[in-house]
A and B are shown apart, each in its own frame.
Chain A
Amino acid sequence: MGTDIHETFEQMIDETLAGNVEREKEESLRRHLQDCARCQEYLAASTRVIAGLRGFSFDVDPASQAKVCAVMRQRAQQMEAAPTSGRRMAWISIAALILTVGGSFVDLQFGGLIASAFDIQRAQMQQGVIAFGIVPSLCLLILIPILLKLSAGGTGRQERIR
């Protein structure tokens, strides 16, 4: 057998160990290995490397685990004590949305009635609703997502996978 055949099978051995070989190729590799001493040697050397990798044992300070748990408990308590700014912002957004929609609804449905009850012109009342209700709440609605995005950016990137 030529050298290139062995190299192909050696590459296949590496791919098999990496977990990236098709079933058919794996089958042909198995057949080849039965008769080829050189490739058997190659597989044995690769297996020995993997076994060697498992021969490392790193020392871990037993106190580090307790320390991590203590720090985590402390952080969890802090998180419980202070509601997250994100949650607060969400409530403000909901309030702003209710103000915007509610203000517009009241003005459309009962604008005339209210204006006559307080003896003011309809246009004046509308201006008041727009100036003190709808515009501020719209501003909040626009600003809050921007603030949330900025604060998320400041705390580091999101993990890529779920």
Chain B
Amino acid sequence: MFEYDMALVAGLSSNTRQIAVRLRQGNVSLLEELVGQYQYRLTRYLIYLLGTRDGVDDLVQETWLRVLERGSSYDGRSRFEPWLFTIARNLAIDSMRKRRIFSLDSKDDDAERDISAQMPASNAPSPFTLAARTEDAERLAGSLEALQPIYREALVLRFQEDLSLQEISAIVGSPVATVASRIRRGLRTLREGLEGGNHGN
């Protein structure tokens, strides 16, 4: 196991047109470069979305296979990351429905309600507790775990992926105002958690 070196994450994202052309050609060497560049970020996004580590590696693999198969639908006009995360999100929702974690009668439009309805899978330490590397992160881990997935998702896309509100809105399929409100609410909850932890200490 290793800690991914974030300094390696650079390079291709500015060249979206070229990515689109090479994806259309089914260029496997480009895909391998993209896997190297986005593997950690994709894993992190899915952990935030699902709140668990279980099944994340399989979803990451499925996402890349979908990128290979549907590469021609990426036109390079927007950044690659939102397109990639949209695929991962759709697969995550489908996968959870198959595992019957979600209600069977929910429709596509109710995907976000489905995400919110997800229950923790076990009593094992949360992935956030295991991944906390600073004191503040340790304090935040509990609040993050308790936070609804749609808020965690908005926070990771905004503050770790540095995506714009418009890009996040395209990924989650909700209006910009809703995304902004989720970020505010998520921040508020975490701030209260952090302040509560401080008072406790």
Residues of A within 8 A of B (CB): 11, 14-15, 17-20, 45-46, 48-62, 64-65, 67-69, 71-73, 75-76, 79-80, 156-162
Contacts and interface: CB of A to CB of B under 8 A. Distances in A.
Closest 8 CB pairs of A and B: A55-B137, A55-B134, A52-B136, A20-B180, A18-B183, A14-B184, A56-B131, A52-B140
Name A's interface SS: helix
Interface in B27-83: 28, 31-32, 35-36, 39-40, 43-44, 47, 57, 60-61, 64-66, 68-70, 73-75, 77-78, 82-83
B3 to A, nearest CB: 5
A61 to B, nearest CB: 6
Nearest to A51: B136
Contacts of A159: 70, 73, 83, 86-87, 90
Interface string B181-201: 001100110110011000000
A49 B184 CA distance: 12
Contacts of A55: 132-134, 136-137, 140
Contact of A20 (B65, B176, B187): B176
Contacts of A76: 26, 28, 31, 68
Given A65-B39, A72-B31, A159-B73, A57 B131 contact: yes
Q: Which of A48, A68, A160 has the most CB of B within 10 A?
A: A68
Contact of A68 (B44, B61, B86, B90): B61
27 contacts: A14-B187, A19-B180, A45-B191, A48-B194, A50-B187, A52-B137, A52-B140, A53-B140, A53-B155, A56-B128, A56-B141, A58-B40, A68-B39, A68-B60, A71-B61, A71-B64, A72-B68, A75-B65, A76-B28, A76-B31, A79-B26, A159-B70, A159-B73, A159-B83, A159-B86, A159-B87, A162-B73
B40 to A, nearest CB: 5
B22 interface: no
